[in-house]
Structure formats: structure tokens, C-alpha cells
Amino acid sequence: MLKKTLTSFLVTAFTTVCLALFLSPFLFMIFTSLKTTAQMSVIGSPIWPAKSVPYTLTDANKGVYTLQVNKGGTLVDVTIDMSTMVGKKVDVYSLPFPDGTTRTMAVIQGFQKGSIVMDPANPTAAPIAWNDGYFKGQPRALWEWSPTWANFPEMWGDIHFPDALWNTIYYAFTTTIGTLLSCILVAFGFSRFRFPGRDSLFILLISILFLPIAVTVIPTFTFWTQVTKLGLGVGVGTWWPLIIPSFFANPYDVFLLRQYFMTLPKELDEAAMIDGAGPFRILWAVIIPQSYPVIVAVTVFHIVWAWNDYFGPLIYLSTNRPAMPISVALAYFNGMYGSRPELIQAGALLALIFPLILFFAAQRFFVQGIVITGVEK
């Protein structure tokens, strides 16, 4: 029992560490999107959006003090007049002292190897000298949570985010409709019909997966360039070169759908045929109602792919900037605001929200479809 518990604990701990490492870039993106440029330029600042804890000097102590402070390795006398510092904001640090304690002190004046500090909890007390090399340990700045939510509305207006978001949604959902219609029909034919050369055609279809996109991009672009010259309004500079190909099945989704369809008993088809159902009726009333897991999986796959597609819209919509989706708009935004990483990360974070919501909403169907489509009857 103890061995089983220890094994379970180690597996859980290892999985948690792997998950934390996997999500660390996403967490860094969130923190960066909530920072300012000044916060990111502070040496020693934490990864989360923070600012140093300030302390405002009051008139509770108006004395004049002379202290020995380490300036460049030499102790020298420094005189300060506290009355001249009323209203000044200074940083607060956690400083180690010779008695082994650590106190929260406000740094009134800093030098190369020493500082003049005071206790913010007791402003009437005399300031003291804190010298490097004399006290053991290093000072540690105190930080407080300080997110900058204004990065998001600033990015929202600069990138014209609503227009880019609508373009992306339009592109994702129109091509998803074409992908589902074409791939379901092709997968249904390969899984249910027997005809000469069926297996050879399927192998030929799957072999297209190994064809690099660089091989087809130039001929395809040339074709659509010629279509543009016909003046039909469906060429380069419009959405049609990106939408129309989705109505011609792609091998990846056809493979997933076919593998799932083959797990469904053919006796269901025969029962429907006895009742007078034709092929399309069987597909609509028998196959599709039992294939929701794989259909949802294919839908999620394609929407996420279209949401992240950069190369296609960049080529065919380069002359139509208002139609740019988020992927291309963010690339232009990165070029214009390369010195503002917080805005870039804010845009990337907003672009991720919809795919994340979609994935978690369809997670049950998604996982079920992935498991079952790898099993052939």
C-alpha cells in the first residue's frame, strides 16, 4: 500500500512539474501583458507586474544627522537634514542587520557601497547607516502587485482588433463548413463503398500529407493570379482563394473521419437500406448522429488551424489590408511596436482566448474522437 501511494505521489509530482514547465511561457505572456515598459526595465524586478513599495517622508523627524557611510570602500561623514526631505518618496527594502534580524527600512540616500536608511514604522527615530560589507546578506527590494490594464484598450484601438477578430471568425467558420461538408462525403465514400482502386486512391490521398506546401504554393498562387485577371472578383485580394479550397477535402481530416466511420457496424446501414434509405439518407440519419465525437474533433482542429493560419492570408490578402485576420494583423503590429512588448503580448493573449474557450468547451468530444479514430474495426 505504501509503495503504491509513493508511486502515485511521484507520478503526480512529475506531471505537475511538467505541466508547470509547459504553461510557464503562457504565464509569462500574461504577466508581460500587464506590465509597463518601465517595469520591465528595472533590474531585479519580479516576473509578475510589480512596482517597488514607496514611502513618503513626513515632517515627524526634522533633525540634522551626521553618519559614517561607505563611499567606494571608504567611510566618510555624511550630514543630512531631514527637514529638507519632507514629501520625498523613497524605496523600501528588506535589510539584514548584524544581530541576525531582517528589518524593513526606507532608503533615504544611497551611495556606491552604503546607504542612509530609516525605519518607516518609527519615523521619529534617527536614521542609521547601512554599509555593504559590514552587514551580512544582501538588501531585497519590496514589491507590490501593480498590473497595467490600460495595455489592452491601447492595443485594442491600435490594431483595430474588432475588425481583425471578425475577419478571423469569418475565415475560420466558412472554411470549417467547407471542410466538414467535403471531408465527410469523401470519408463516407472510402469507408462504406466498394469500388475498383479504392485502396490505391486512399493511399494516394494520404500521400498528399507528405507533400511540402512549398511545392504547391507557387502553382496555386499563379492559378489565382490568372483568375484575378478574369475580373470575376474571386482572385487575389479576396477571401475566395482561401475559402474555395476548403470545399475540396484534405487528407488529414478525411483520414480521421474514415477511421471513425469504419468503427460503426455496417449492419446499421443494411437496416436503413431495408427501410428504403439511400446513401445520403444513411449518411444523414445513421452515420452523422453517431459520429459527433470525431466531427467535433475535426471542427476544433480546423478552427484552431484557420485561427493561426498566417501564410495563406499573408499571400492572398496582402493587397486588402482591411481583410487581414488576427494572425497577420499581429505580425504588422509587432513590427510597429517592437519596443512595446507589453502591447504585443496583450494582443497575443486576446487572440488566444477564443481557441482556448473552444477547446475546453469541446474537450470531452475532442478527446473521445482522438481516441476512437485511431482504432480500426
* H or E element in which residue 180 lies: helix 161-192
- Average pLDDT of 282-300? 88
Arithmetic mean of pLDDT over the chain? 83
The CATH code of the domain at 152-372 is: 1.10.3720.10
- Average pLDDT of 187-195? 88
- pLDDT the model gives residue 377: 42
Question: Which of 257, 258, 243 is CA-nearest to residue 177?
Answer: 243
C-beta of residue 106 within 8 angstroms of C-beta of residue 117: yes
Q: Does residue 100 have a pLDDT over 80?
A: no
Backbone angles phi, psi at 105, to 5 degrees: -130, 145
Give percent above pLDDT 70 in the chain: 93
Q: Residue 352 and residue 253: Cα distance in Å, rounded?
A: 23
C-beta of residue 181 within 8 angstroms of C-beta of residue 323: no
- Average pLDDT of 329-333? 85
Confidence at 368, pLDDT banded by 50, 70, 90: low
Confidence at 366, pLDDT banded by 50, 70, 90: low
Question: Please, what is the angle between helix 151-158 and helix 341-361, to 10°?
Answer: 90
Q: Does residue 177 have a pLDDT over 90?
A: yes
Q: Residue 2 and residue 10: Cα distance in Å, rounded?
A: 12
The b/e string for 305-320 (b: 16+ C-beta within 10 A; e otherwise) is: bbbebeebbebbbeee
**Three-class SS state of 274:** helix
Domain ranges of the chain: 54-141, 152-372
- pLDDT the model gives residue 226: 87
What is each CA distance from 356 to 296, 349, 377, in whole angstroms? 15, 10, 33
- pLDDT the model gives residue 244: 92
* H or E element in which residue 226 lies: helix 213-229
Tens of pLDDT, residue by residue over 118-171, are 888 888 888 888 776 444 455 667 788 888 888 888 888 877 888 988 999 999
- Average pLDDT of 259-270? 86
- pLDDT the model gives residue 5: 81
- pLDDT the model gives residue 139: 64
Q: Residue 101 and residue 296: Cα distance in Å, rounded?
A: 61
Residue with cell 484534405: 250
Give percent above pLDDT 90 in the chain: 12
Q: Does residue 343 have a pLDDT over 60?
A: yes
> Highest mean pLDDT: which of 40-44, 180-184, 315-319, 360-364?
180-184
> Hey, which bits of the chain come out as E strands?
50-52, 54-56, 64-71, 74-81, 89-96, 102-110, 114-118, 128-131, 140-141, 143-145
C-beta of residue 77 within 8 angstroms of C-beta of residue 88: no
C-beta of residue 311 within 8 angstroms of C-beta of residue 325: no
Cα 204 → chain centroid = 36
Q: Residue 178 and residue 249: Cα distance in Å, rounded?
A: 8
- pLDDT the model gives residue 172: 93
Q: Residue 313 and residue 307: Cα distance in Å, rounded?
A: 11
Q: Does residue 372 have a pLDDT over 70?
A: no
Tens of pLDDT, residue by residue over 65-99, are 888 887 767 788 888 888 888 888 888 888 777 77
- Average pLDDT of 271-275? 85
Q: SS in 3 state form for 238-271?
A: CCHHHHHHHHCCCHHHHHHHHHHHCCCCHHHHHH
| CA 81-87-90 angle, 5° bins | 85
Strand partners, 114: 131
The model carries a pTM of 0.75
**Three-class SS state of 332:** helix
Q: Which residue has the higher pLDDT, 96 or 312?
A: 312
Most distant CA pair in the chain: distance in Å? 106
- Average pLDDT of 201-220? 86
- Average pLDDT of 6-12? 84
Confidence at 370, pLDDT banded by 50, 70, 90: low
The amino acid present at 9, given as its one-letter code, is F
Q: Residue 222 and residue 241: Cα distance in Å, rounded?
A: 11
58-62, 137-141, 310-314: segment of lowest average pLDDT: 137-141
* H or E element in which residue 19 lies: helix 2-33
Residue with cell 472510402: 190
Q: Residue 56 and residue 35: Cα distance in Å, rounded?
A: 24
**Three-class SS state of 138:** coil
